[in-house]
């Protein structure tokens, strides 16, 4: 039996798995920075409700690959040791991480469409709509909140500025 997707779609899906695990590492580092700077309430949400979701997303991709008779692979990760000193910088890093995932997902959808890999295209569209889009919007909300509130106030009221993901 052969894969029910082209090699390009297979490679794109594996790249998306890698980005999910990379996002987990990036966001763990963001949460560690938050905790280090005593922004523990924000850190808890970023760690449990954002970082911990990324391996679940990777599992969604790998499950679809297996369904399409492709063998998922997990590539190595880079170290993420950056130090962040303010909330806006942290939330912008979160936003940038999601936008990088969005760009890969959009490229995967486009390539799958051109190659006739309908299952991959549909999966990618749902992944973009149901997974990425709400998290991008949440990152935008947090960036905005970091511009109008001081760090301690936002730490206390973080749940009041969390409308697009589950907490």
- Coil, strand or helix at 143: helix
- The tens digit of pLDDT for each residue in 112-167 reads 999 999 999 999 999 999 999 999 999 999 999 999 999 999 999 999 999 999 99
Q: Who's near 94: CB < 8 A, 6+ residues apart?
A: 26, 27, 30, 46, 50, 139, 142
When pLDDT is cut at 50, 70 and 90, the band that residue 105 belongs to is very high
pLDDT of residue 73: 96
pLDDT of residue 1: 76
The residue among 133, 129, 131, 113 whose CA lies nearest residue 121 is 113
pLDDT of residue 144: 98
pLDDT of residue 37: 97
Rounded to the nearest angstrom, the gap between the alpha carbon of residue 102 and the centroid of all alpha carbons in its chain is 9
DSSP assignment letter at 111? H
pTM: 0.97
Q: Which fold has domain 7-161?
A: Ferritin (1.20.1260)
Helices 87-115 & 118-126, crossing angle to 10 degrees?
A: 160
- Coil, strand or helix at 160: helix
In our burial notation (b when 16+ CB lie closer than 10 A, e otherwise), range 21-59 reads: bbbbbbbbbbbbbbeebebeebbebbbeebbebbeebbe
Count of C-beta atoms within a 10 Å radius of residue 75 = 10
Total residue count of the chain as it appears in this document: 167
One-character DSSP codes across 6-54: -HHHHHHHHHHHHHHHHHHHHHHHHHHHHHHTT-HHHHHHHIIIIITHH
- The tens digit of pLDDT for each residue in 41-99 reads 999 999 999 999 999 999 999 999 999 999 999 999 999 999 999 999 999 999 999 99
């Amino acid at each position: 039996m052969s894969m029910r997707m082209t090699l390009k779609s297979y490679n794109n899906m594996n790249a998306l798995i890698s980005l999910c695990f990379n996002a987990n590492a990036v966001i763990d580092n963001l949460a560690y920075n938050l905790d280090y700077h005593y922004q523990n309430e924000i850190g808890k949400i970023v760690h449990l409700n954002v970082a911990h979701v990324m391996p679940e997303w990777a599992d969604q991709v790998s499950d679809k690959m297996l369904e399409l008779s492709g063998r998922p692979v997990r590539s190595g990760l880079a170290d993420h040791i950056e130090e962040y000193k303010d909330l806006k910088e942290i939330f912008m890093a979160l936003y940038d991480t999601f936008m990088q995932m969005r760009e890969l997902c959009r490229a995967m959808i486009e390539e799958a469409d051109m190659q006739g890999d309908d299952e991959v295209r549909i999966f990618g569209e749902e992944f973009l709509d149901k997974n990425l889009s709400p998290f991008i919007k949440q990152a935008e909300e947090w960036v905005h909140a970091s511009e109008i509130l001081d760090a301690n106030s936002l730490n206390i009221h973080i749940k009041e500025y969390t409308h697009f993901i589950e907490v």
